[in-house]
């Protein structure tokens, strides 16, 4: 009996030692890797922004709001030990075709599944682009939001099949089905993603266009503008570009009369020199307004609360066999640059050394919470 108790004590001591070692290495990594920023991320913001005043900063000891009496909510202390950094970077992933042989614009079904599993297991949680933009980032504390985007409305993104009884069934290997499967499997994997479609036949099955667009919105996905017929907006006139953007919206509205198309992914990543008409325009009686414009390349985006966040030039990470693993590794090596949520969409939490990156105009009245990362 005594021997057993001694063993338990020993095991406990060993576990404590391991936890201590683990947290020390974690902190050390955060402190030493800041100088290794690659050039594309080195546009350091200026330091003119004053720190938030005392009464804007929630004291670290304060309990989280809305903690139900029955639920054991995390305290602020618990959350700060997860090293939240809501001024860290966010990946907006860009996919094209799913299925078939792997290629430069094509991810196999297996690789797509494994991307999502890897992301999930490494603490990434999908959010819709519009929620990222508005700061409605509702992911668990200590996890990282990411955005899924799919260009071109290919068949492998959303395919219906007919079974032996001629019943229409969702192809379990199309991107939409795989995302729904992930959401079914993991409670905190939300159905999210934006499909940048063009016409006349998005997802390439004429008979199902309406059914698909309605289903996407019902499930919680977003639909974006990719010009009417994938026009290169840098190579056509301003008038033609306005028409191409408005006709895309007009076509989506034909199927979804109440839907608001709110973002644009540039076909070929091509942007005309003068680009104000990409933001908003009118053709015949159709108006369009884009709150976000997505580029084709090539790195993670700044936090939506950071000074260098520009919704009209949002970079995307190409989700292929090179770029996605590269950026996942980058964030493993530089965890202090990665967005980690505090789990509360109403509070923006970050380490003090990031304070000069905060765009005070982007906080939308949310509570700001700074902490000293040496203390946690």
- Would you tell me which residues interact with Zn ion (CB under 5 A)? 151-152, 267
**Least CB distance to Zn ion at residue 269 (A):** 9
**Least CB distance to Zn ion at residue 244 (A):** 13
- Which CB, 152 or 342, lies closer to Zn ion? 152
- Which CB, 28 or 103, lies closer to Zn ion? 103
**Least CB distance to Zn ion at residue 79 (A):** 40
**Least CB distance to Zn ion at residue 97 (A):** 11
Please count the other Cβ atoms lying within 10 Å of the Cβ belonging to residue 187. 8
- Which CB, 124 or 196, lies closer to Zn ion? 196
- Which CB, 267 or 304, lies closer to Zn ion? 267
Which of 292, 296, 277, 288 has its CA nearest to residue 252? 288
**Least CB distance to Zn ion at residue 224 (A):** 11
Please count the other Cβ atoms lying within 10 Å of the Cβ belonging to residue 372. 11
**Least CB distance to Zn ion at residue 99 (A):** 17
Tokens, residue 289: 């307004």
Q: How far apart are CA 176 and CA 202, in angstroms?
A: 14
- Which CB, 131 or 231, lies closer to Zn ion? 231
**Least CB distance to Zn ion at residue 152 (A):** 4
Q: How far apart are CA 158 and CA 172, in angstroms?
A: 10
- Which CB, 196 or 331, lies closer to Zn ion? 196
Alpha-carbon torsion angle 316, 219, 287, 154, nearest 10: 60
Residue 269 carries which DSSP code?
G
Which of 68, 135, 189, 40 has its CA nearest to residue 341? 135
103: β partners: 106
- Which CB, 203 or 350, lies closer to Zn ion? 203
**Least CB distance to Zn ion at residue 151 (A):** 4
- Which CB, 115 or 152, lies closer to Zn ion? 152
**Least CB distance to Zn ion at residue 339 (A):** 27
- Which CB, 151 or 173, lies closer to Zn ion? 151
**Least CB distance to Zn ion at residue 238 (A):** 21
Q: Which residue, judged by CB position, is nearest to Zn ion in the bound state?
A: 151
Q: How far apart are CA 247 and CA 254, in angstroms?
A: 10
- Which CB, 135 or 224, lies closer to Zn ion? 224
Q: Within 13 Å of residue 162, how many CA atoms lie on the same side as its CB?
A: 6
Q: How far apart are CA 38 and CA 188, in angstroms?
A: 32
Residue 274 carries which DSSP code?
S
Q: At what angle do helices 109-121 and 323-333 cross, to 10 degrees?
A: 10
Which of 225, 213, 229, 254 has its CA nearest to residue 149? 225
Positions of E strands within the chain: 91-95, 97-98, 106-107, 124-126, 144-151, 160-162, 168-170, 194-197, 222-225, 263-265, 280-283, 286-289, 292-294, 317-318, 347-351, 367-371
The DSSP H or E segment spanning 290 is none
């Amino acid at each position: 009996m005594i021997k057993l108790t001694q063993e338990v004590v020993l095991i406990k001591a060993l576990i404590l030692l391991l936890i201590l070692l683990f947290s020390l290495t974690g902190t050390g990594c955060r402190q030493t890797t800041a100088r290794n920023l690659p050039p594309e991320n080195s546009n350091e913001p200026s330091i003119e922004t004053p720190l938030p005043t005392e009464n804007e900063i929630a004291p670290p000891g304060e309990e989280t709001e809305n903690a139900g009496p029955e639920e054991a909510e995390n305290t602020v202390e618990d959350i700060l030990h997860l090293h939240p950094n809501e001024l860290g970077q966010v990946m907006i992933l860009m996919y094209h075709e799913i299925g078939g042989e792997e290629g430069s614009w094509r991810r196999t079904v297996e690789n797509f599944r494994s991307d999502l599993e890897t992301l999930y297991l490494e603490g990434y949680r999908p959010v819709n682009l519009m929620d990222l933009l508005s700061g409605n980032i509702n992911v668990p504390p200590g996890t990282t939001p990411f955005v899924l985007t799919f260009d071109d409305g290919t068949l492998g993104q959303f395919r219906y099949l007919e079974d032996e009884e001629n019943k229409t069934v969702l192809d379990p290997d199309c991107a939409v089905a795989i995302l729904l499967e992930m959401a079914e499997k993991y409670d905190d994997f939300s159905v999210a993603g934006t499909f940048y479609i063009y016409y006349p036949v998005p997802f390439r099955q004429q008979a199902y266009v309406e059914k698909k667009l309605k289903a996407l919105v019902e499930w919680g996905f977003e639909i974006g503008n990719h010009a009417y017929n994938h026009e290169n907006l840098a190579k056509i006139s301003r008038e033609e570009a306005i028409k191409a953007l408005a006709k895309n919206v007009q076509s989506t509205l034909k199927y979804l009369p109440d839907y608001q198309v709110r973002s644009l992914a540039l076909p070929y990543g091509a942007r005309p020199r003068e680009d104000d008409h990409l933001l908003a325009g009118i053709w015949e009686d159709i108006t369009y307004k884009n709150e976000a414009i997505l580029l084709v390349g090539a790195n993670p985006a700044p936090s939506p609360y950071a000074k260098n966040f520009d919704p009209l030039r949002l970079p995307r990470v190409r989700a292929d066999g090179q770029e996605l693993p590269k950026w996942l590794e980058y964030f493993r090596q530089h965890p202090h640059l990665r967005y980690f949520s505090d789990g509360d969409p109403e509070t923006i939490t970050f380490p003090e050394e990031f304070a000069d990156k905060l765009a005070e105009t982007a906080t939308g009245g949310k509570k700001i919470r700074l902490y000293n990362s040496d203390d946690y």
